[in-house]
Amino acid sequence: MSRHKRTPEGRSLRLLRDWLSPAQRAQFAENGYFEVVGGDTGKHYRIYAGGLTNVCEIDERGRPKLGLCFVPVGELPIGDVMLSQKIALESRESRALAVARRFAPNGFWFRRSRPLSLSRTELG
């Protein structure tokens, strides 16, 4: 096992990958984000690689509509944060939105700003 897979961040990204559908894994490997559907409203969200200001609601054309910032309590590796955001939106969307800070999305907020510990091959 390579060294990066044994780090907390590497393990968290592998766990995230295990929870993603094949389509989400492909999106994440190719684009640095994956999309989920809200469990309460059916709205579409994009979760970008990152731990803060990395979630946005997207419109019917796939453009960022509303930026959202919500994270679990504690200092967690990036994959764990993203997995918690995925699960929250899919299963407890209204509760996640109730605590989320909203902001106007722009291209700056939604770029891959931090290298991932796993290669695209390992994510895809």
Tell me the pLDDT tens digit for each residue of 85-107. 999 999 999 999 999 999 998 76
Phi, psi of 111 (to 5 degrees): -120, 150
Q: Count of domains in the chain?
A: 1
- The answer to the question of residue 118 being in a domain is no
Q: Could you report the per-residue pLDDT of 27-66, keeping only the tens digit for each? A: 999 999 999 999 999 999 999 998 888 999 999 999 999 9
**Between the CA of residue 48 and those of 1, 3, 108, 109, 122, what are the distances in Å?**
27, 24, 12, 9, 17
Q: Range of 72's domain?
A: 3-106
* Ranges 14-18, 31-35, 43-47, 119-123: which has the least confidence: 119-123
Does 47 map to a domain?
yes
For 101, list phi and psi in degrees, rounded to 5. -85, 135
pTM of the model: 0.83
Q: What are the phi and psi torsion angles at 67 (to 5°)?
A: -85, 145
